[in-house]
Homo-oligomer: A and B are copies of this chain.
Amino acid sequence: MKNKKTTIKEVAKKAGVSISTVSLVVNNLPYVSAEVREKVTNAIKELNFYPRRNARGLASKTSGNIGFILTENHFSQAEPFYTKIFLGTEFEARKHRYYVLLTTVAPTRTENEEIPRFLLEENVDGVIIAGKIHQSWIEEVQNRNLPLVLIDFEVSRQGVSSVLIDNAEGIHKAVDYLTKSGHREIGFIGGDIKHPSIKSRFTAYKQTLSEKGIEVRQDLISIDQTDTAIENGFVAAKKVMEISGKKPTAIIAANDAMAIGAIRFLKSSGYMVPKDVSVIGFDNVDAAEHVSPKLTTVHVPKEEMGAIAVKRLVEKIQKIDNVTMKTFVGVDLVLRDSTKVLSSKEVIPVK
């Protein structure tokens, strides 16, 4: 019934050595003779010893935890995107023997906003922040000398590494596919346009069209939605379809949610997708596979982004590599059923 865990002291006694020697063995440090190491190892096995995280932490000033900060709006049910990223960090962290402590903060930083408890308690060895966030939170982390990695967001600040989506590549692939399928009137709908990822998608849209010698028509663009939810896609698509002169034969949405909203509008207004209008999303969230028609979209490796961030962070924590860097993850166009080939100018591999 007594369930006292064994301590390093007992191991030392059993092995006939000092506790500091046991500590050396436990932490796999050199300068321990093979025989002593074995004696200690055996004692550890027999007594079933495992060092307590708290004791270790107090003495070494480490926590074994990684903090993960997200703004509240990014961590709701409607936003599976960052949730996936978070789960990606969980998996990777485990491999490095860290646990992830999650917290959310308000999207706007107010006067008496609470600081994430894990920062106050010195309960994390490094921090990951995902998505657009108020600059002050970044400072809050850096002021505590904690390694920091951002995901899907960037700031120009010494020491802040980022894991980013190659948005330009994704849009390029989407536009390229559409033009090669014979589309010329290609619209774009977006929202939350100041978000770095959304902004670069929009910029890439305009640039790719230009490169292909296609005029960028303002009446095919709607980017003034404040958010990128399904409803916003509905409204934005409505605008584009109603305002535009020569109607678009294809619409690129800033993300899947908006693409789904766009499809809802199109269908509800009697347009056939993809017969009348092709739609391409971005992110490849789970729903993209379930909607009808199945959504052609740009796949973003969300879990992988979380995993990469953890790897970078651990490198910093363990001083293996402390270079400030941006990592761009590649993306791919996933062809499904929401896009139609008008006239194939080149052979298009359809899976």
List the B side residues contacting A54 at CB < 8 Å: 54, 57-58, 63, 122-123
User: Which B residue sits closest to A80, measured CB to CB?
Assistant: B286
Q: Interface digits, A35-63 against B, CB 8 Å rule (1 contact, 0 not)? A: 00000000000000011111101100001
CB distance from A69 to the nearest CB of B (A): 12
List the B side residues contacting A52 at CB < 8 Å: 58, 121-123
The answer to whether A260 touches B290, judged by C-beta atoms less than 8 angstroms apart, is yes
User: Which B residue sits closest to A119, measured CB to CB?
Assistant: B50
Q: A interface, how many residues as a size bin?
A: 35 or more
Q: Does A13 contact B (CB under 8 A)?
A: no
In the assembled complex, the Cα of A244 lies from the Cα of B117 at a distance in Å of 60
CB distance from A337 to the nearest CB of B (A): 11
Given A3-B145, A87-B83, answer yes or no on A51-B99 (Cβ-Cβ < 8 Å): no
How many copies of the shown chain assemble into the complex? 2
The answer to whether B53 touches A55, judged by C-beta atoms less than 8 angstroms apart, is no
Q: Does A320 contact B (CB under 8 A)?
A: no
Q: Does A17 contact B (CB under 8 A)?
A: no
Q: Does A243 contact B (CB under 8 A)?
A: no
Q: Does A97 contact B (CB under 8 A)?
A: yes
Q: Interface digits, A121-135 against B, CB 8 Å rule (1 contact, 0 not)? A: 111000000000000
Q: Does A143 contact B (CB under 8 A)?
A: yes
List the B side residues contacting A34 at CB < 8 Å: none
Q: Does A5 contact B (CB under 8 A)?
A: yes
Write the residues of chain A forming the contact surface with B, with a CB cutoff of 8 angstroms: 3, 5, 50-55, 57-58, 63-65, 77, 80, 83, 87, 90, 94, 97, 99-104, 117-118, 120-123, 143-145, 260, 286-287, 290-292, 303
Pick 21 A–B contacts, CB within 8 A, sort by A.
Answer: A3-B143, A3-B144, A3-B145, A50-B120, A50-B121, A51-B121, A52-B58, A53-B57, A54-B54, A54-B123, A57-B57, A65-B99, A77-B303, A80-B286, A83-B87, A90-B102, A99-B101, A99-B123, A286-B287, A290-B290, A291-B292
